[in-house]
């Protein structure tokens, strides 16, 4: 695997690693100390984690976040926009930077990515895991998973993204951050940031990714997690309903803890930023 990056912590700031198929994966790498790697949700970028990265960086941790292929500043690929490839891209980044005793943090689709990474590549480099509003075990409603969402929901996301991606991303911010709830304090800045990050990505890869967060069953991967794991989920998550995700996943992962944020939305890393940051730091230190 070729790469064009430095492995010295905190010296580069940002760069690219080259995936097995030649795609360039963008990442940010700040600070020094025990590494914490963040994996973002769809259709966002590493920038979704800026507040957490600055917070933990100031606490003496090395913080890393990448743009998934076809998202943000990474290459917009026609092929490879699926979980096996996402997990292998993540492995390339982790091995290139030679990260050890790693804390993995994944939100939404990113929770699926880090879970599949461990299922595919093991936990030898991983110390702890945090899954936030994460999609595992399975979002799709099936006979065996009656609490999931119907396929029509995801077909609607595909159609909205294909027909008018820009407007769809703007509209999506309302349920994503719970801004459609009575009394919600709406931040137009947060909405614009979401839209901007989404529009940086490639539409083909974003369309492909919808299948990965909705129809992939991560149960076998969850069963392979053998390190301390924290689940954080809002019980008013309108994007990844808690009943089909964290409540089930926490029962599958041995040595896991579940924290439910009452009334919280899918974008709780933003809307409940200080609480989430404090819980994240407490878990890393524990």
Q: 145-189, pLDDT tens digit by residue?
A: 998 999 999 999 999 999 999 999 999 999 999 999 999 999 999
**pTM score > 0.85 for this model?**
yes
Q: Residues with Cβ < 8 Å from 198, sequence gap 6 or more?
A: 43, 44, 165, 169, 206
Catalytic residue, chosen from 237, 256, 265, 272, is 237
Confidence of residue 11 (pLDDT cuts 50, 70, 90): low
- Chain length of the chain: 286
Cα torsion through 141, 154, 194, 48, rounded to 10: 40
Catalytic residue, chosen from 40, 233, 266, 272, is 266
* Residue 108: strand, helix, or coil: coil
In this structure, are residues 113 and 83 in contact, taking their beta carbons and an 8 Å threshold?
yes
CATH assignment of 13-285, among 3.40.50.2300, 3.40.50.300, 3.40.50.1820, 3.40.640.10 = 3.40.50.1820
Cα–Cα distance, 271 to 190 (Å, whole number): 9
> DSSP for 132-175?
ES---S--B-BTTBTTSB-HHHHHHHHHHHHHHHHHHHHHHHHH
Per the annotation, the verdict on 116 as an active-site residue is no
Measured from the Cβ of residue 67, the count of other Cβ atoms closer than 10 Å reads 24
Q: Which of 3-7, 12-16, 169-173, 273-277 shows the lowest mean pLDDT across its residues?
A: 3-7
Catalytic residue, chosen from 39, 70, 74, 108, is 108
Per the annotation, the verdict on 235 as an active-site residue is no
What integer is the mean pLDDT of 131-145? 96
Per the annotation, the verdict on 286 as an active-site residue is no
Please list, residue by residue across 78-91, b when 16 or more beta carbons sit within 10 angstroms of its beta carbon and e when fewer do: eebbbbebbbbbbb
Confidence of residue 10 (pLDDT cuts 50, 70, 90): low
Burial (CB < 10 A; 0-12, 13-18, 19+), residue 188, is exposed
Cα–Cα distance, 219 to 123 (Å, whole number): 16
What does the domain layout of the chain look like in residue ranges?
A: 13-285
């Amino acid at each position: 695997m070729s790469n064009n990056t430095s492995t010295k912590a905190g010296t580069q700031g940002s760069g690219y690693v080259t995936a097995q198929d030649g795609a360039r994966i963008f990442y940010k790498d700040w600070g020094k100390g025990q590494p914490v790697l963040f994996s973002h949700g769809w259709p966002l970028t590493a920038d979704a984690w800026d507040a957490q990265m600055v917070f933990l960086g100031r606490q003496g941790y090395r913080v890393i976040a990448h743009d998934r292929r076809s998202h943000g500043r990474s290459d917009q690929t026609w092929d490879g926009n699926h979980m096996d490839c996402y997990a292998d891209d993540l492995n390339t980044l982790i091995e290139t930077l030679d990260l050890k005793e790693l804390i993995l943090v994944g939100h939404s689709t990113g929770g699926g990515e880090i879970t599949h990474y461990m299922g595919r590549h093991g936990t030898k480099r991983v110390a702890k895991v945090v899954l936030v509003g994460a999609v595992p075990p399975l979002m799709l409603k099936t006979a065996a998973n009656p609490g999931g969402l119907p396929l029509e929901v995801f077909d609607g996301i595909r159609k909205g993204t294909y027909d008018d991606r820009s407007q769809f991303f703007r509209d999506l911010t309302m349920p994503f951050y719970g801004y459609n709830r009575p009394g919600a304090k709406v931040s137009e800045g947060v909405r614009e940031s979401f839209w901007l990050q989404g529009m940086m990505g490639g539409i083909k890869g974003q369309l492909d990714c919808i299948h990965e967060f909705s129809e992939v069953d991560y149960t076998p991967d969850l069963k392979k997690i053998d390190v301390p794991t924290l689940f954080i989920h809002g019980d008013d998550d309108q994007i990844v309903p808690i009943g089909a995700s964290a409540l089930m996943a926490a029962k599958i992962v041995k040595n896991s803890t579940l924290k439910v944020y009452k009334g919280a939305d899918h974008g709780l890393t933003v809307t409940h930023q200080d609480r989430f940051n404090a819980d994240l730091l407490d878990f890393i230190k524990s």
